[in-house]
Amino acid sequence: MENVNKGFVLITGATSGIGESTAQHALDEGYHIIAGCYPDTGVGESLKQYAPNRVTLIPLDVTNDESVRAAGDKVTGVVGDNGLKGLVNSAGVAMLSPVELITTEEFRQVVNINLVGTFSILREMLPHLRRGRGTIVNISSDAGLLAMPTGGAYCASKFGMEALSDVVRAETRDQGINVAIIEPGNIDTPIWETLHGPIRKKLASLDSALKPYYADYLESLLATERQGIPVERVARAILKALNSRKPKTRYRVGPDSHVSWLVAKLPARFRDSIANRVVKSYASK
């Protein structure tokens, strides 16, 4: 397996969650993985050990223009004239809160990482993808299909990613580049635990004037537990897109994603009522 090379694939956020699982599955299928590591390559050592001869670690902060340009130079040095067979944009962050309780800095951080970061690395890698007739795989979410209460920043970033993906697909259709969007629902990852800390702080600092409006949202979010489909299911969908000569434009993964797609088609006020009931129901489970 170490000598097999189906081509070069760059994965952002490759050292945890979806990115790490995708990298391992891609290595199993014979790809050479260029793993974007944040904050430095030290976090990618376990991935490097998985297939030492077919993993290249590069430091990458998708929100930093200098880091993105440096990544472009490093990719050039690795792939040469071969170009990239794939770019998987999986670097991302989640944050849930009613809009009135989100700071401008929190909103900016989520959008910068999830959307602007995807744009930056995608634009930098287009020449490599054109040369390799590669496939861009952007990791969206069912939050890019259906806007739910407390998802102001996260949904905005994922709806934006859906639009960006559609634009790039149309613009590059005659360049030999494919663009696919992965739309998973809830995934069983440690992200559930990391979400709770900031939510607890917002609930603790909620003043009496706002508590009647937002306390039930925050308490419901705190009642959620680690849940969802195995991350491997998302990785398999990504590999399906990478391996296809003509991938689908969208891959919905998991029951939540299919339900969100259906609910999004309902009349707006009816949809709002359902979304509110769903979010607030978490506290009673």
Cβ pair 9, 22 in contact under 8 A: no
Residue 5's pLDDT is: 80
Q: Which of 38, 154, 214, 251 is catalytic?
A: 154
pLDDT value, residue 250: 97
Contact yes or no for 176/194 (Cβ under 8 A)? no
Output the six-digit token pair for 263. 């609910």
By the 8 A CB rule, do 66 and 121 touch?
Answer: no
Q: How far apart (Å, rounded) are the C-alpha atoms in residues 221 and 164?
A: 29
- Where b means 16+ CB within 10 Å and e means fewer, 209-227 reads eeeeebeebbebbeebeee
* Separation of alpha carbons 210 and 142, rounded Å: 29
| Cα–Cα distance measured from residue 29 to residue 203, given in angstroms and rounded to the nearest whole number | 46
Q: Write down the pLDDT at residue 1.
A: 41
Q: Check: CB of residue 31 under 8 Å from CB of residue 9.
A: yes
pLDDT band per the 50, 70, 90 thresholds, residue 4: low
pLDDT over 90 (residue 279): no
The pLDDT of residue 285 = 44
Helices (H) and strands (E) in the chain, counts: 11, 7
**Cα separation of 194 and 197, whole Å?**
6
Calpha distance 81→138 (Å, rounded): 24
Identify which of 207, 197, 125, 210 has the alpha carbon closest to the alpha carbon of residue 168: 125
Residue 185, token pair as written in the block: 């629902």
Can you give the residue ranges of every domain in the chain?
Answer: 8-190+228-266
Token look-up 């397996």 returns 1
Say whether pLDDT at 72 is over 90: yes
Whether residue 128 contacts residue 79, with contact meaning beta carbons closer than 8 Å, is answered with: yes
For the residues 189-215, what does the mean pLDDT come to? 87
**What share of the chain in percent tops pLDDT 90?**
84
pLDDT digit string, tens, across residues 75-98: 999 999 999 999 999 999 999 999
Element (H, E) at 199: helix 191-204
pLDDT at 189 over 90: no
- Across the range 248-262, mean pLDDT stands at 94
Tens of pLDDT, residue by residue over 53-63, are 999 999 999 99
- Averaged pLDDT for residues 224-228: 70
Structure tokens at 26: 């891609």
CATH number of 8-190+228-266: 3.40.50.720
Residue 214, token pair as written in the block: 């937002």
Query: Taking the C-alpha atoms of 257, 107, 71 and 38 in order, what is their torsion angle to the nearest 10 degrees?
Result: -80
The yes-or-no answer on residue 50 being catalytic is: no
Contact between 241 and 180 under an 8 Å Cβ cutoff? The reply is: yes
Tell me the C-alpha to C-alpha distance, in Å, between residue 5 and each of 9, 161, 199, 230: 10, 30, 44, 27
The CB-side HSE value for 117 (13 A sphere, CA atoms) comes to: 29
Lowest mean pLDDT among 106-110, 154-158, 270-274: 270-274
pLDDT value of position 140: 97
177 compared with 221, residue with greater pLDDT:
177
Q: Per-residue confidence at 284, pLDDT binned at 50, 70, 90?
A: very low
Q: Does residue 198 have a cis peptide bond before it, meaning omega lies within 30 degrees of 0?
A: no
